[in-house]
A = this chain, B = another copy of it.
Amino acid sequence: MAAPSTPAAPDATHLAYKNTDQLSVTLKEPTSFKLLYFPIHSSGATTREILSIAEAKWENLVPSDWEKEKEKTPFNVLPVLFITSQTNKDIILAEAAGVIEQYLAKQFRLMGCNDYEENLIKSFHSSTASLHSLHATTVAFIPDRDARKRAMEVFRDGPFRAWVTLHEKHLRDNGSNGYYVGDKLSLADIRTANFIEHMNLQTGGQALYDIINISPCLRKLCVEVAVDYKISRWRSSQAYKILTTATDHYFSDPFAPVSKL
């Protein structure tokens, strides 16, 4: 995995609707991936960590002028995942990070051991992704920094604390072993750890991180994700560190000129 690079993204204005049996083979037998996303962690973080765990062949693509390029994505939003196989042209997965993450997690055995565990994992994944979205909608993009700090306090003392309480309960119910389901890493664990890291890079986020530090099960979950050998290797990379710096910089002023992306 290289540092964020900027080869042009394939045109993804239209999705494919024909020969879907053949396209399904690509989903089952992918040879490499390209993730088109802004050069920050945020909604790209979990996909990048799954690809790292899978030791997949993948690269970051970064929009050079998003306002112009967004018309060339299926839903005018990022991330978009391009999936390459030996026999087909690239397949596009798009719309929500959740769709991409669930496909990759299933492909790389991070969705539990059976259908029931898969549904449990999807529930925790959805709960965390919803809270991330709520933060994005109600806090992250408030232009005035002081108003944003106040909104973050409301978010912290309302939905964030409620989420912590519920997730501590469920993690305790699974034996306080640092995993949501069973005794091995899943999509849900990775998504939650990434969300917590994401909060830590937000205006007023340190106070949320402090809450996690006195929440033993979520804290253990973050440790379990961090000590995974392949995730640890990815997080130690130069590419990851560049993304962290850029994420911190971006969310301290989300209204700086878009060109910096």
Q: Which residues of A contact B (CB under 8 A)?
A: 14-17, 20-21, 23-24, 26-28, 74-76, 91, 93-96, 98-99, 102-103, 112-117, 119-120, 122-124, 126-127, 130, 133-134, 137-138, 162, 166, 169-170, 173-175, 181-182
Contact among B74, B102, B169, B174 with A170 in the assembled complex (CB-CB below 8 Å)? B74
Nearest CB of B to A108, in Å: 15
B166 touches A75 (CB 8 A): yes
Q: How distant is the Cα of A93 from the Cα of B114 in the complex, in angstroms?
A: 15
Residues of B near A138 (CB, < 8 A) are 137
Q: How distant is the Cα of A27 from the Cα of B75 in the complex, in angstroms?
A: 32
B174 touches A17 (CB 8 A): yes
Residues of B near A76 (CB, < 8 A) are 162, 166
Known A-B contacts A27-B116, A28-B115, A76-B162; the reply to A95 vs B126 at CB < 8 A is yes
B127 touches A96 (CB 8 A): yes
Q: How distant is the Cα of A112 from the Cα of B24 in the complex, in angstroms?
A: 12
Q: How distant is the Cα of A181 from the Cα of B18 in the complex, in angstroms?
A: 10
A119 touches B96 (CB 8 A): no
Contact among B20, B119, B130, B175 with A103 in the assembled complex (CB-CB below 8 Å)? B119
Residues of B near A113 (CB, < 8 A) are 20-21
A116 touches B162 (CB 8 A): no
A99 touches B116 (CB 8 A): no
A114 touches B14 (CB 8 A): no
30 contacts between A and B (CB under 8 A): A15-B120, A15-B123, A16-B116, A17-B173, A17-B174, A17-B182, A20-B112, A20-B114, A20-B116, A20-B182, A21-B114, A21-B116, A23-B116, A24-B116, A24-B117, A27-B116, A74-B123, A74-B166, A74-B170, A75-B123, A75-B166, A76-B166, A93-B123, A95-B123, A95-B124, A96-B126, A99-B119, A99-B122, A130-B133, A133-B133
